[in-house]
Structure 1
Amino acid sequence: MDDDDWADVRTACRGLEPGSELETPVSGRRFTVERTGNDRIVVRFVDSGEERPLWREQFGVLVDQLEGSRVAVDDLQPGIEPYAAIVTLTESAGVSDGAIVADPDDAAGESPFLVPAVEARTSTERVRDDALLLASHLERVAEREPESLGTDPLTDLYVLASDVQHGADRLRRTARESLLERLGPNQELHGRFGTVRRTVRERRRPADDEAVFDALDERGVPREWVLGVDPEKLDVVVSVTDVPAADVYDVDETVYIQKTGVDEDEKYSRLQGLVDRIEELEGAEGEEFREELDEIEERLEEALSA
């Protein structure tokens, strides 16, 4: 690989958005570019944490192969996949009709194996980011009741609160499974912010009809006592006959707000602005801010240990 081609590869890697990832074309393994050198590019696989050097000579072999032919994506070997993903970042290669090609008209520099930072975040990171956005939004509207807000900030409040709720619920379910493995019967675990214990809740559902009828017959209980309308069968009857739904259903109407869309790009842009502002806290102002946080933490520690 000549110096110009190698410079293009290194430039493409250095130009990646912070937090973005690449995905191997066949196996779908995510990896990040850690650093570039004179003779290698070091990547780290997200699933294992393994770091692997990708050598300049191997990039040269792939580029030379592209000059004379197309390389089918499905034929890529595991060891070549990360090389191929990175090559498609450059302006001299891309993917067209399921193959990596040199000098494509439309695909150069538009790698399908690039995962933008906003999409590369883990579920935990998304909850953290949404919570940060919600906290920032609440800071701006803290002195006003929701009903007094304008339509736009009220909509944003609802969307952000909904995102935090759903993300936190998913995270809570994941934490619950791990905690169940660590908790024995009647055992409690104590954290800094609270206590949890293992609880058993029973939910009953009817056994099959034959088992139920046998149990009732054995004890002289009339079957008619447990027979009733089957909602699923009633739905079918209403659908295929002229029986009016109003005659067989009592309808309770509930009006609610449904979130129909989320602008993740706008959220991420706003989040980056918040991160930049936090990073700008330097010197005396930053030190004062950190001291305030330390004092709050100390007071919490004292309150929890009292």
Structure 2
Amino acid sequence: MAFSVSWHTLLDELDDLPVGATLITPLSHNRFRVNDVQEQRVIIEFLDRDIDTTQPLQREQFETLYRRITEEAGSFEIDRLPSDADPYPAVLSLHPRFEIDEEQGMIVEKEGPTTNQLLTTENESVADEQDRTEPDLDVYADALLLVDALERHDVTALEEMETDALVNIYTVLSDVQRNANAFRQDVADILLNRLHHDRPVSGPFGSVQRTTRTNRSLRDDEDVLKTLEEAGIDRERVLGVDRDKVDDALEVTNLSESDVYQIEESSYVRKADVDEERKETRLQGLKDQLAASEGEKAEDLRDEIEDLEARIDELTSFRTGAEVHE
């Protein structure tokens, strides 16, 4: 198929986009909208940038990308594109024959139904807010309880708080930490398959990057000693006291720990028990309050949340190097 046919098909799809339609780039995950559709170019506006918010996407660049896909067995690696070309595959995904496979880091041509990089429209976003459902996650329930506890006590003056209130807050903080870490690891496992070549990927609150950690463990003792001796290192230079072996020796002697260890004691707080039934009762009360919220108080709460989100977005928004024009 000639590119001119595919190009006009793409322009038709862009013309049919609903008001407020938002797309997201596959590598940097920047959100943008299509402001103008012209015969030779498409004008887009980035939503997560403070400067250089507008970018023209030229027809000839789309044609180059199209040629690379069709001439390379119907697929092309996205990270081979220049950093400022990230929006091109996102826009091309609106064409009914192209889609992005983020796990493989490819834009592919295929027959049949395809997916695209289109997020929700403004109207759909409002509907989603109205149809919000409670996620079945332990961290969500504990986070609600934590917010409730923080709102009911003046946590800026911890020394003045009653002991039972401090115990409640510490308990919930411990639960939030444990469940958040478990959920964070679940998210990290999925993200690991979507990050490529140590290239940062950004979202509204920050960015993540694939990194490599090296763990070392010694080989068999005799193999290590033999290798070092062959390299001219006397084994006495690397032999030392093995803590596990010392502990084993203490068990079969009359020596005490203080004979071989320098012992220092420190005190700390550990969670001893959790009243799950009490937590569940309080949590259900919070859910009922949220469900029954209406009128001026509910509107004030929504305004406060929107203001908080705006402040968080302002404080955490930034541009990665991949967003700077070369």
Paired residues, number: 185
Task: Quote the residue 2:170 is aligned against.
Answer: 158
* Change beyond 3 A, Cα 1:239–1:266: same
Does residue 169 in structure 1 map to residue 181 in structure 2? yes
The alpha-carbon distance between structure 1 residues 222 and 305, as it changes in their structure 2 partners (threshold 3 A), is closer
Identity %: 40
Give the partner amino acid of 2:208. Answer: V
Residues 1:251 and 2:268 aligned together: no
1:238 aligns with 2:250: yes
Distance 1:238 1:276, change over 3 A: same
Does residue 1:139 correspond to 2:133, yes or no?
A: no
Unaligned runs of 5+ in 2: 1-133, 320-326
| Secondary structure of 1:204 counterpart | coil
Structure 1 residues 295 and 227: CA distance shift in structure 2, 3 A: closer
SS in 2 for 1:228: coil
* Closer, same or farther: CA 271–207 of 1 in aligned 2, 3 Å: same
Deviations 1:200-242 (A, max 9, x none): 2223222111221122111110001111112112111111111
8 Å CA contact retained: 2:154, 2:161: no
Deviation readout 1:14-45 (Å, 9 max, x if unpaired):
xxxxxxxxxxxxxxxxxxxxxxxxxxxxxxxx
Whether 1:287 aligns to 2:299 is yes
Residue 215 (str. 1) matches residue 227 (str. 2): yes
**Are the structure 2 counterparts of residues 217 and 297 from structure 1 closer, same or farther at C-alpha, using a change threshold of 3 Å?**
closer
Q: Deviations over 1:160-219 (max 9, x none)?
A: 111111111111111111111111231111112111111122232221112211221111
In structure 1, the partner of 2:79 is: none
Identify which of structures 1 and 2 has the higher relative contact order when contacts are C-alpha pairs closer than 8 Å and 6+ apart.
Answer: 2
Q: Who is 1:59 aligned against?
A: none
Distance 1:143 1:263, change over 3 A: closer
2:237 alignment partner in structure 1:
225
TM-score with structure 2 setting the length: 0.52
Between stretches 283-292 and 251-260, larger displacement belongs to 283-292
Q: Secondary structure at the match of 1:182?
A: coil
Amino acid at match of 2:217: R
Counterpart code for 2:234: P
Specify whether residues 240 and 274 from structure 1 end up closer, same or farther in structure 2 by C-alpha distance, changes over 3 A only. same
- Note if contact 2:205-2:313 (Cα within 8 Å) is conserved in structure 1: no
Pair 296,258 (structure 1): closer, same or farther in 2 beyond 3 Å: closer
Give the secondary structure class of the aligned counterpart of 2:201: strand
Give the aligned CA root-mean-square deviation in angstroms. 2.3
Structure 1 position 272 matched with structure 2 position 311? no
Superposition map of 1:1-306 within 5 A: 125-142=137-154, 144-297=156-309, 304=317
Question: What is the alpha-carbon distance in structure 2 between the residues aligned to residue 299 and residue 305 of structure 1?
Answer: 13
Q: Structure 2: how far apart are the matches of 1:264 and 1:146?
A: 25
* Unaligned residue ranges in structure 1 (runs of 5+): 1-120
Residues 265, 222 of structure 1: CA spacing in aligned structure 2 closer, same or farther, 3 A cutoff? same
Letter aligned with residue 180 of structure 1: L
Distance 1:249 1:298, change over 3 A: closer
Determine the C-alpha separation between the residues in 1 that align with 2:218 and 2:266.
29
